[in-house]
Amino acid sequence: MAKQILETIKTLTEIPSPSGDAYKAIDYVKDFAEELGYPTSVTNKGALMITVQGENDVEQRCITAHVDTLGAMVKEIKEDGRLAIDLIGGYAYNAIEGEYCTIHTDSGKTYTGTICLHETSVHVYRDNQNIPRNQEHMEVRIDAVTHNDEDTRKLGIEVGDFISLDPRTEITENDFIKSRHLDDKASVAMIMDFLKENKEHGKELPYTTHFYISNNEEIGYGANASIPNKVVEYIAFDMGALGDGQTSDEYTVSICAKDASGPYHKKLRQHLTQLCETNKIPYKVDIYPYYGSDASAALRSGADVKHGLFGAGIESSHALERTHITSIEATQALLKAYIFSDMVED
């Protein structure tokens, strides 16, 4: 089944969905859930709620993953016809230099382009490696004949148009998947796989569980509202951050003890690690120092829930990301074990 999840991740990453324009991705997951017979609803801000009825409807769970991604928006049409951009979410400009992109106009027409340093040509700009990669120097070169701002506007491109980046998704022969936007489409694909398997086997969940597919997580407030009052436990099903000083890797499930918002619920975190121990699921516990999740956003908004966070280990987050099928397998195993486990006692 894990190989099928990789294919679902690939499909999801190829649907453009920067925060603020995730409609097509939300619709894709919504149609998938409804074809399986699950009730769905869409919140006013555009998030998707899929509810699976459980034996206990008094105490409920919510598991959230986000389908929105990083991206950009047209900030200015420059005199030479190229586009100045404003970033959506936490991209660093050096992580997107040279990337192919698509400009999505309000009319529905799209244009391809490339995110470039204005002073790219080494034959013209001496020592251009020393030029800062920032909003002042980075721009989009449009794949259209345009010599000035008037030409560009005649194409239908305007300030405020969304820009999505080419995900460049590949599944390797040895079962790595590398792509932009594994954060957090890998988790969404695992939820979709769980929903399909659960419908085929018809196993009743111990608690009514809401799968909240958020569309604004990358800008800080994806699933902090519309949380049903009966929800007691709230899981952010997101990526594990890898790097120096981290224990997490691309081959295990990563469980977060603390991020930039503070510690996660201790007993819920211990419950997750115990599930891994009991079920022989390979896992790592980590602190993500520069990270926030929909679970931490929910607490800031006043939700009275026990909050936790786990997900696949994702290498090079917010750039060209990668993970391995073994991390997907471990993460999916913990997801299932958690859903069918008892609630954490106070």
Nearest one of 191, 170, 168 to 238, comparing CA atoms: 191
Lowest mean per-residue pLDDT among 17-26, 161-170, 218-227, 317-326: 218-227
Taking the whole predicted model, whether its pTM rises above 0.95 is answered as yes
Active site residues per annotation: 217
- Is 21 within any annotated ligand binding site? no
Asked if the model's pLDDT at residue 189 lies above 80, the reply is yes
Euclidean distance between CA atoms 67 and 185, whole angstroms: 6
Please determine, looking at this structure, whether the domain spanning 2-69+181-339 carries the CATH number 1.10.3720.10. no
Asked if the model's pLDDT at residue 260 lies above 90, the reply is yes
Average pLDDT, rounded, for the chain: 96
- pLDDT at position 346 is 78
- What 3-state DSSP class applies to 310? strand
pLDDT band at 336 (very low <50, low <70, confident <90, very high): very high
Which tokens hold the place of 330?
């471990």
Euclidean distance between CA atoms 52 and 39, whole angstroms: 8
- pLDDT at position 221 is 87
Strands 253-259, 283-288: pairing kind: parallel
Q: How many CB atoms within 10 Å of residue 163?
A: 25
- Once rounded to an integer, what is the mean pLDDT over residues 81-109? 96
- Is 183 within any annotated ligand binding site? yes
Q: H/E element holding 149? A: helix 149-154
pLDDT in tens, 28-66: 999 999 999 999 999 999 999 999 999 999 999 999 999
- pLDDT at position 224 is 85
- Once rounded to an integer, what is the mean pLDDT over residues 79-94? 96
Strands (E), 17-92: 40-42, 48-52, 54-66, 71-77, 83-88
Question: Which residues, 6+ apart, have CB-to-CB distance to 300 below 8 Å?
Answer: 224, 261
pLDDT in tens, 269-291: 999 999 999 999 999 999 999 99
Question: Which residues, 6+ apart, have CB-to-CB distance to 2 below 8 Å?
Answer: 325, 328, 329, 332
pLDDT band at 142 (very low <50, low <70, confident <90, very high): very high
Asked if the model's pLDDT at residue 175 lies above 80, the reply is yes
- pLDDT at position 283 is 98
Q: Phi and psi dihedrals of 50, rounded to 5? A: -115, 120
Report whether 16 contacts 101 (CB < 8 A). Answer: no
2-69+181-339 and 71-165: identical CATH topology: no
Please determine, looking at this structure, whether the domain spanning 71-165 carries the CATH number 2.40.30.40. yes
- pLDDT at position 1 is 67
Euclidean distance between CA atoms 66 and 78, whole angstroms: 33
Residue ranges of domains in the chain: 2-69+181-339, 71-165
- pLDDT at position 2 is 87
- Once rounded to an integer, what is the mean pLDDT over residues 152-177? 98
Euclidean distance between CA atoms 223 and 301, whole angstroms: 10
- Is 218 within any annotated ligand binding site? yes
Nearest one of 328, 323, 265, 317 to 288, comparing CA atoms: 317
